[in-house]
Chains A and B, each alone.
Chain A
Amino acid sequence: MVFMLKNNNTRVLTRMAGRSLKSGRRQSVTMILAVLLSAFMLFGVFTVGMTYFKMQRLQNIRLGGGEFDAIMYGVTDEQLRTCRENPDILRFGVHAVSGYIDETEYDNTPEVTLMWADETCWNEIMAPARERVEGHYPVEEDEVMVTEYALEKCGFHGLNVGDTFTAVYGAGAVKCEKTFRISGIWEGFGEKSAFYVSEKFYEQTGLDPADVASGRFLIDFRQKLISQEEQDAFIASMNLGKQQRLFFTVDFAFSVQILTGIAGLALVICLCAYLLIYNIMYLSVAGNIRYYGLLQTIGMTGRQICGLIRRQMFLVGGIGLAGGVLLGSGVSFLVVPSVVKSLGIRMGKGGEIAVSFHPLILLLTLLLTGITVYIAGRKPAKIAVTCSPMEALGYRPSADVRRRGRLGGSRRKAGRQPRSGCKDTVRDISPSARIWRMAKEQITKDKRKAGIVMLSLAAGMSVFLCIATLLTSQAKREYNYNFRDFDMVVKNSTMRKEEQEERVQIFDQTVLDRLDAIEGVAETAPLRYAEITVPWEPEFADMWMREFYETWMNIPYEDEVEEYKEFPENFGSSLVGISKADFEALNAASGEPVDEEEFLEGKTCLLYRDGLEFKSSDVTGKSVTCAAYGDRTHTQTFEIGGLVDVNDYTALLGYPPTIIVSEDVVREFAEEPIIYKIGIRYREEYDAKTEAEILSVLDAGPHGKDYSYESRIEMKKEVEKAQGNMMEIGIGIALILALIGMMNYVNTFVGNIRSRRVEIAVLESIGMTGRQVKKMLILEGLLYAGGAWVITGIAGTAATYWIYQSMNYTGAEFVIPAVPLLCAAVISVLICISVPAIAYREIEKKGIVEYIKMPVC
């Protein structure tokens, strides 16, 4: 094979491509619009995603004070070694508590800790959270790295790098005064109320990173998205000690959801654009077979025809992409921040959400849209190339070829028509049924075309369905965060006071009576508690406290057991009284129901588990004794019926267990048990009037300001606020997709009717009335709409259901929103009907004769 230089003959193709786009303006504009809209949407969706992840990362960095994916409390040498060997870990650093500033000459309670960060931690992990650093990280034992904030907390003002200050610090058991020299000052996010100390200082304190109280181990993974299984596997590989905890800072499930959401949307967008462009190109090539054949007769090679179509696609794609990206970047800056906010990103002060623009987004948009356009144009180009000039010369426009192939489908139809008008000969079939059949035949004639149009209509509608379902189910969500699904829960705020004397009964009988008197209130359920102590005894109390110390405390149980034995008052707890209904709710939720009678009689009690590693069998059957707070002689003993995880009923949490008993028992045990919580149920859900009345009753009481409340109405407001513009944006996306689908439909139908002009003219010339023709066309339109809805009904609903279930934490029921869907259906049917009607009027204007005379060549 001789090497040959390629012929330089492409310029004319570019010109021809431009010309044919100009002459087929309607199709070109539609295609450009499709590309533009899809590029726009892709760009928007990617920008939202990018911004979300970037902001999430920034948020994590700011909240955590560094860039890391997991934090572990306490780290042993062995775990360090494991991490060092783990290839998935990019870096890790130790961040250790090395004491606290106890007092300075200006402040007695500075609440400033002393921290030590190792080199990786300070230089790499924490660096992104810092905004300004002066000086260097402490090297000498007396050097500290400070923040203005921490200095001020200690009462120091105007200190600078190089200055010294004196403070009493505590570390472990020791407490001593020391003069520190400031080696550096930093500003930013993270542990701001801390002084960072040198390694020498840390070693000198005798603290150990292996200690849960001191060591915090920050891990940054190479991979940014870590699945739940991988997280679990990593936790398992670390072989955690009993007190050690390991948390991942990123919510993998949510990130994956957002990622799949973005990918899914991108896919649907591309699909819609593909379907539209493919269909237009296919129709235009099929309608212009003669044109391509002609080009071949005058010596255009297949390669050149390919090049011609490719250039057309390139022009369409180029214009559309440029417009779409411009539009996208314009709109993104306006819309994206609110979207990202509604996805749950909150930036603190000075942390406005900056829209992330990344060349990668542009590239990805260009690439995806480009590929879509390319693939959409490839098949039609192939068709144009494979048509031989001979075929093209013999080809007649409209459905002629198909007619030939199917042994005269529409000709047979045309011949049949007069018979249908003549009722004498054909009695068995009415004219309207005949028209119906003709419409159906028209659609089944080119199944591929009809299928594509229906699919593209269905894609838009499915997205609409999905978004509408998700949003309405959000709106309809039951905000059942209150115990026993009360509409409102009122809490006694004095419960938070330190001193027992300040915790008072603010919901007295008059308040309760007034509440009950409100018309809209169906039920009030006060919860009472009495403060108690649980005296030491070896059987149960000792076991409980030992476990409690092991899990929650830094100091060993042995250090304090003597104090506990002697002064149980220092270890207060509460005896909580619940109603029969509450008990039933608890029993229903727990796996091991407790005998109701015994509970109500006061024989048995329930204990709040408080996160301890007890099994029910460990405690059931044992008895627990409680004494009234301040009166050691007034005791009562219960048999333990079981453990409860629900923390709705806890009042004051102490070290000893919270004992839950029947409300009568509490009232008997204590003189006036304090009502710490009231659950209120309204006659009508979300009754704002009742809620206002309740609040006015509570405000009117003597302790008007000492209550807090949570209500479903408030929660709903909150969630709606958080959702922000999600609704509008979701509907926007669905609308744009629906628009693309509609464009496809309109384009196909108009093209279809145009190519059938002759056929319609023949039908009219043999006596079909204009009304009948119109009816036939409208029926066709209806069939398209129906087909699209069937696809939406099957595939769309299935996809929606799947997405819905994967996002459904609250367990809300899957309900398809009827009203928006009905609206969509009505609108789509209207459009499907009006397009053929309008298109028909267009051709009707010109009269029949014109089309019969039209040269069939």
Chain B
Amino acid sequence: MDWSAVTAVLAGCAAVTAVWRMYRLKREVYQFEERVESALDDILSGKGMTEGEEGVTDSLWGKCREKLWRVNRIWTKKEEAGRREKELMKELISDISHQTRTPIANMKLYQEFLQEEGLSGKGREFLGHLEGQTEKLDFLLQSMVKMSRLETGIIHIRQQEARLYETIAGAVGEIVPAAAKKGIELSVDCDEEIMVKHDRKWTEEAIFNVLDNAVKYTESGGSIHVAMKCQEVFAKISVRDTGKGIAPERQAEIFTRFYREPEIHDESGIGIGLYLARKILELQNGYIEVRSQEGEGAEFNLYLPNA
């Protein structure tokens, strides 16, 4: 046998082995990377790591997995602690709302008693103020409870296929007395057949809040028009009033908590209705927007994803 041939064969074998090993190594690296990635994905998405026997194998992945598992544990624990804290907060709020209800009811009761007592002119005036403020406090507390429940997710939004018309009708029906009282004309232009997946109760609340807001900022003799339209992605409910409008620079702010138009301090309300409406729509993957020019009324559009 020729030496050069032997060498060539050996070299060939060595080369093949080397290439094969490289290939194996590369594959292993890719596999490793994939496992790390999928484990991290699981952790990030909150699914958590499933227990597997790889954790006890003597491999790089086993080692790495052990660490990841620990990270996951700490992460879950922290999250749990946060959740518990939140829970406590919720309980606290719930307690507050519950505990304040009785004193407020009592306060109202005593105020009624007081009215039957003969009070001086001044005293009657103070009592009137007192009654107003109590009313406000009651409303505020109720709104805050709603808000906190919505924000903390205590209330579940249940979206169901339903006629949007009925929801709108409910909200409009509720606002009619207030509008009539203020002498505002209300008109509704609605397709009765449109079906949209939405939570009827809360959507009604949102629409009502927008309508309430419109009534509040529209002078007597004005009008409010409610319309509905189905677009490619969203169903749009628009509420147009002939009120005094909103300055553009304030438009983004009106949906924030406790925002109130600076000019209207005397009106009742605490600037929470629109915020709630926004929240409700967002929870249903919809949104709310306003279009307005100062002095030319305002149009609030509520969008709910259709289909």
Contact = CB atoms under 8 A, between A and B. Distances in A.
Interface string A1-31: 0000100100000000000000000000000
For chain A, which range describes its interface: under 10, 10 to 19, 20 to 34, or 35 or more residues? under 10
Contacts of A5: 29, 33
B125 to A, nearest CB: 69
Contacts of A8: 30, 33
Interface string B27-39: 0011001000000
A8 B27 CA distance: 10
A2 to B, nearest CB: 15
Nearest to B29: A5
Nearest to B30: A8
B49 to A, nearest CB: 23
Nearest to B33: A8
A5 B30 CA distance: 9
Interface in B26-65: 29-30, 33
A8 B30 CA distance: 7
Interface residues of B, number: 3
Contacts of B29: 5
B113 to A, nearest CB: 73
A178 B210 CA distance: 136
B208 to A, nearest CB: 44
B147 to A, nearest CB: 40
Nearest to A5: B29
A5 B29 CA distance: 8
Interface string A103-117: 000000000000000
B67 to A, nearest CB: 19
Contacts of B30: 8
Interface in A515-557: none
B198 to A, nearest CB: 35
A103 B147 CA distance: 133
A123 B30 CA distance: 59
A8 B33 CA distance: 9
Nearest to A8: B30
A673 B30 CA distance: 101
A453 B30 CA distance: 46
Interface string B82-102: 000000000000000000000
A155 to B, nearest CB: 48
A592 B33 CA distance: 93
A10 to B, nearest CB: 11
B229 to A, nearest CB: 29
Contacts of B33: 5, 8
A117 to B, nearest CB: 28
A461 B89 CA distance: 89
A8 B31 CA distance: 11
A193 to B, nearest CB: 40
B294 to A, nearest CB: 37
A700 B138 CA distance: 146
Nearest to A7: B33
Interface in B188-214: none
Interface in B145-193: none
Interface in A770-785: none
A332 to B, nearest CB: 31
A13 to B, nearest CB: 16
A446 to B, nearest CB: 44
A5 B31 CA distance: 13
A5 B22 CA distance: 13
Interface in A730-768: none
A808 B104 CA distance: 122
Nearest to B34: A8
A790 to B, nearest CB: 53
Interface string B1-44: 00000000000000000000000000001100100000000000
Interface in A387-437: none
B30 to A, nearest CB: 5
A5 B33 CA distance: 10
A5 B25 CA distance: 11
Interface in B112-150: none
A492 to B, nearest CB: 65
4 tightest CB-CB pairs across the interface, nearest first? A8-B30, A5-B29, A8-B33, A5-B33
Interface of A: 5, 8
Interface of B: 29-30, 33
4 contacts: A5-B29, A5-B33, A8-B30, A8-B33
